[in-house]
Homo-oligomer: A and B are copies of this chain.
Amino acid sequence: MLTLQARPQPIRLALPTAQTPATSPRTSPLRAIFGANRAKLLLTYVLFNVENLLRLSQPFVLGLAINDLLHESSFGLLLFVGQHVTHLLISSLRQMYDTRVYTGIYSDLATKTVVDQRGREVGLSRVAARSSLSREFVEFFENHVPLLIKSAYSVVGALVMLAFYDRVLVPICLGLLLPAVVLNRIYSRRTFELNRQLHDQLEHEVDVIDRGHEPSIRRHYDAVASWRVKLSDCEALNFGTMEVFVLGVMVLALLRTCSSLTTTPGDIFAVFRYVLMLLMGIDGVPKLVQQFSRLRDLTQRMS
């Protein structure tokens, strides 16, 4: 909260390689953590995959429930209740197990980092900082990997389910991937450049404050504001352009789904939920790309 916003400094984290005797000291920290906790991590991911399969089945089951109820059968409704109860049990259990696994890994890692570094007479404040930093690596497994799995289910899973309802919808939806890729390439290149310039400006902040010269202070904060405005404009333009393509896909999907005479209300419902799931999945991709590139940068600085 009280940290100054500035470009992150390169920091070296001496990860305790002793904790993972099977791996060489040159192994990346992520590999080392995975190697030492393979079984537990795989179990959390298995549970998370089951949870996502259940999430993916929800529109299908709801659609079935609607169709069955309209024909005075409650089979679909019972299936929906079963799906919902299983999902809530699995996801609650997964969350409880997850936290035990990840806090355990962090606790081990932090203890070993501290003991190891204090043994080598590294300064107190550095060791404290490094023990917090080791949390970043645990977060890769705890947050970033599950986010990737979830996005894959939203995009690929939704496409598979749409193919089940109507094969023609798949190429329509795939047509969205081309503008998404092109727009994101332009966007990420542009924001990288703008962020670089914003960070360059932010690095002057303490100097400018130190000098205490009013016009320079004003000029500094105005420059910071102008980079932020440029970044925001870039984001708004990217979002607006993508939404035009999204609109195109939704119109085509509506025309296609509602023109077929055999379509039932439940199917229309399910198809639209999958289209929206796919669109939300595609929306999340840029954030995911940024997080991974940030972590790659962090790993490089530490190896």
Contacts and interface: CB of A to CB of B under 8 A. Distances in A.
Interface of A: 1-5, 8, 11, 62, 65-66, 69-70, 77, 80-81, 84-85, 88-89, 91-93, 95-96, 98-100, 103-104, 106-108, 110-111, 114-115, 118-119, 124, 127-129, 131-133, 136, 205-206, 209-210, 212, 214, 217-218, 221-222, 224-225, 228-229, 232-233, 235-237, 239-240, 243-244, 247, 250-251, 254-255, 258-259, 263-265, 268-269, 272
29 contacts: A1-B3, A3-B3, A3-B132, A69-B254, A77-B255, A80-B250, A80-B251, A88-B244, A91-B239, A93-B236, A96-B232, A99-B228, A99-B233, A100-B229, A103-B229, A107-B218, A107-B225, A108-B221, A111-B214, A111-B218, A114-B217, A115-B214, A115-B217, A128-B206, A128-B209, A131-B209, A265-B265, A265-B268, A269-B272
Contacts of A69: 254-255, 258-259
Nearest to A119: B212
A93 B243 CA distance: 14
Contacts of A258: 65-66, 69-70
Contact of A81 (B89, B131, B218, B251): B251
Nearest to A264: B265
B95 A236 contact: yes
A272 B69 CA distance: 14
A86 B255 CA distance: 21
Contacts of A237: 92
Contact of A247 (B84, B128, B255, B264): B84
A115 B43 CA distance: 56
A126 to B, nearest CB: 10
Nearest to A238: B92
Contacts of A232: 95-96, 98-99
Contact of A85 (B205, B225, B247): B247
Given A111-B221, A118-B212, 8 more contacts: A2-B132, A80-B254, A81-B247, A88-B239, A99-B228, A104-B225, A124-B206, A269-B272
Nearest to A62: B272
A81 B243 CA distance: 11
A102 to B, nearest CB: 9
A133 B5 CA distance: 11
B3 A11 contact: no
A157 to B, nearest CB: 18
